[in-house]
Homo-oligomer: A and B are copies of this chain.
């Protein structure tokens, strides 16, 4: 989906296809982040698309996160990591820094926040919390995702047992609430947030209610089908506490763009329109 002129230029600059693509991704990130910076509070970078390029993509991922931070935007690494404790610790160090090599401490990829999968339970999430506590960063735990088959696991009804009955994602939200406690900052929000998709408005509203102190990261806007009206319930009574994310509908707002400049101009327009639409929908509630 990259503009033809950017692709041609990439092959002139770098001979190897992986390096050429990584170069183009960096140029794309630079242009789009510059363009949307005045309308956005955060940039969510999807690790997978960088990793698909191999090692040069991993370097481009670090550069994209840095570009967001250089603009004063929160750099969210959307990486959906999660493993047993010692392994999660290594992932957290990869994103937030902290891996020791003799007397040196590696800086990591420079993320302000990272998305985390809850399937391993507390000891798989804890190392991310500790690493973000140490560096002042944040964590977004998957509660209810935005994809069509999210329901297969996340909406399964639990038997009563020791907790309340209800869908699985509510139990995950209750765990997030526990992890979020005591981690509130100056604005009253915890550094532990949750991912709740806008494509399931009921689950989104419930997650908002269950997690009053958590910032919600809300995918599903735009290309995945959710409207401004559907994301409004992610914001709290103050009209704050949510980061609505859109990817393809911003970055590739103009699919016929010949140049990066045209693409960036369309991204700026799409970002401003989205911000205005979301603001209006939140005010209208």
Does A259 touch B at the CB level, under 8 Å? no
Interface string of A55-96 (1 = CB under 8 A from B): 101110010000000000000000011111101101101100
Chain B min CB distance to A117 (Å): 5
Give A contacts to B, CB under 8 Å.
7, 11, 17-18, 20-21, 46, 48-49, 51-55, 57-59, 62, 80-85, 87-88, 90-91, 93-94, 99, 101-102, 104, 106-109, 117-124, 142, 145-154, 156-159, 161, 163, 165, 168, 171-172, 175, 219
| 6 closest cross-chain pairs (CB), A and B | A121-B149, A121-B152, A17-B104, A48-B90, A17-B101, A84-B147
Contact across chains for A49 and B102 when beta carbons are under 8 A apart: no
Which of B83, B150, B171 interacts with A80 by CB under 8 Å?
Answer: B83
B106 touches A52 (CB 8 A): yes
- Complex CA gap A62/B57 in Å reads 13
A-B contact list, 7 entries, CB within 8 Å: A48-B81, A54-B106, A55-B62, A58-B58, A119-B119, A120-B145, A120-B150
